[in-house]
Amino acid sequence: MSIHPSLLQAADSYIETPRERAERHAAIELVDEPAVAFAHRYDASQHVAEHEHRRAQLLHLSRGVLTVTTRAGRWMMPRDHALWIPAGVRHAIDTVGSVDMHSVYVLPGAIAGLPDRLQVTGMTPLMRSLIVEAVCLRSDPGNPRGEFILGALLHEIPRLPERPLGLPFPDNRRLAELCRDFVARPSAHLNIDQWADAAGLSRRSFTRIFRRETGLSLSTWRQQACLMAALPRLSAGEAVTAVALDLGYDSVPAFTTMFCRMMGTPPKAYLRSQSSV
C-alpha cells in the first residue's frame, strides 16, 4: 500500500495539525514496505501526547532539541542525533525550540540485529544521506533503486553509535520519585546516603536496587541528568560558565571534564561540530 499524497507534505514549510498526524500514523500502520520515511516540522514548546506505533521508529533531528518520555524514563535528542523507539513503546514528545526531524518507521524483524531497546545514537554521513533519499522515495513508488536504499538504511541502524542521553527511571516508586525530583532540579551534587535514607534503604541496598533497575550507577545517572539539562541551554547559545555554575559545578573545568567523559569532546568543540552539520 502507498501513502496518500496529502500526507507527503514537505517539512521545510509545513507543520502538521494533530488530525493530520493521526491520519499519517494510521496510514503508516497499513504500509507493506519494511521501512518508510517522513520529514516533519514541529513548533517550539510543542507537546505530542503519549502514543505508540506497530512499527519501530527512528527519529533523526536536523534542527532543535526534543525530549521523549516513556514510562521507563526520559531520553533527549540534540541536533543530528537519532532515537530508536522499539515497536509498541508508548511515548510522548516535547520540543525545545523549533524542531526539524525525520522519522523512519520500521517493521519489527525487518532485518536481524535491530536494537531491542530504546536508545539515543549519533549519526553517520551515510545514514544522513540514506534518510534524505528514503523520504524522497515516497514520491517515486516502485522504483527498484528504492529497495537498495531502504535495505542499506536498515542495515545501517545497528551500526549507529549509542550516546549517553537516556535517563531510565527505576521501577521502585520511591526511587522513581527521587529521580523525577532531581530531573526537575539537577545538580552536580547528589548525596547517595540522603537518597538511601529517603528511600528507606541502606546504602548497600539502595546501590544494588538502583543499578539493577536502571542499569547505571547513581553517579553515572546524575551525570547524564546534568548533561541532559545542559545540552539544550548550550545549544540555545548560553555560556558554558553560566550553565556549569547553575548546575552546581565548582568550576568550568569540572563541568568540562564531565562533558568530555560523557560526549567524548569539550562543550565548545561539540557545539562547533553541531553547527557545521
Polymer length of the chain: 277
DSSP H/E element including 63:
strand 56-70
Other Cβ atoms less than 10 A from the Cβ of 38: the count is 20
Angle of helix 173-184 relative to helix 218-235, nearest 10 degrees, comes to 30
* First CA to last CA distance, the chain: 35
**Per-residue pLDDT at 222:** 93
Above 90 in pLDDT, residue 9?
Answer: no
Mean pLDDT, all residues of the chain:
85
**Per-residue pLDDT at 13:** 43
Contact 102, 62 (CB under 8 A): yes
- Which residues, at least 6 apart from 249, have a Cβ–Cβ distance to it below 8 Å? 188, 255, 258
Above 60 in pLDDT, residue 6?
Answer: no
Going by C-alpha positions, the residue among 96, 97, 105, 139 that lies closest to residue 10 is 139
pLDDT digits (tens, 9 = 90+) for 151-187: 999 999 999 998 878 888 888 889 988 998 898 889 9
pTM greater than 0.85 (yes/no): no
Tell me the mean pLDDT in the region 250-277: 84
Going by C-alpha positions, the residue among 39, 68, 64, 41 that lies closest to residue 128 is 39
Alpha carbon distances (Å) from 5 to 105, 141, 158, 181, 261: 18, 12, 31, 45, 46
Please classify residue 63 by burial: count the beta carbons closer than 10 Å to its beta carbon, then call 0-12 exposed, 13-18 middle and 19+ buried: middle
- Between 10-24, 103-117, 196-210, 253-267, the lowest mean confidence (pLDDT) is in 10-24
CA separation for the pair 107, 257 (Å, rounded) = 40
Tell me the mean pLDDT in the region 180-199: 91
Q: Which residue has the higher pLDDT, 217 or 138?
A: 217
- Percent of the chain surpassing pLDDT 90: 44
3-state helix, strand, coil in the chain (%, to 5): 45, 20, 35
DSSP H/E element including 28:
helix 18-28
Beta pairing partners, 162: 121
CATH topology of domain 5-163: Jelly Rolls (2.60.120)
Contact 94, 46 (CB under 8 A): yes
**Per-residue pLDDT at 22:** 79
Place of cell 532543535: 64
Residue 247: strand, helix, or coil: coil
- Between 142-146, 158-162, 243-247, the lowest mean confidence (pLDDT) is in 142-146
Contact 174, 198 (CB under 8 A): yes
CA separation for the pair 195, 174 (Å, rounded) = 10
Q: Which residue has the higher pLDDT, 277 or 252?
A: 252
Contact 259, 270 (CB under 8 A): yes
For the 166-275 domain, the top CATH level (class) is mainly alpha
Contact 241, 248 (CB under 8 A): no
Contact 58, 106 (CB under 8 A): yes
The secondary structure of 211-240, three-state, reads HHHHCCCHHHHHHHHHHHHHHHHHHCCCCH
Domain boundaries, the chain: 5-163, 166-275
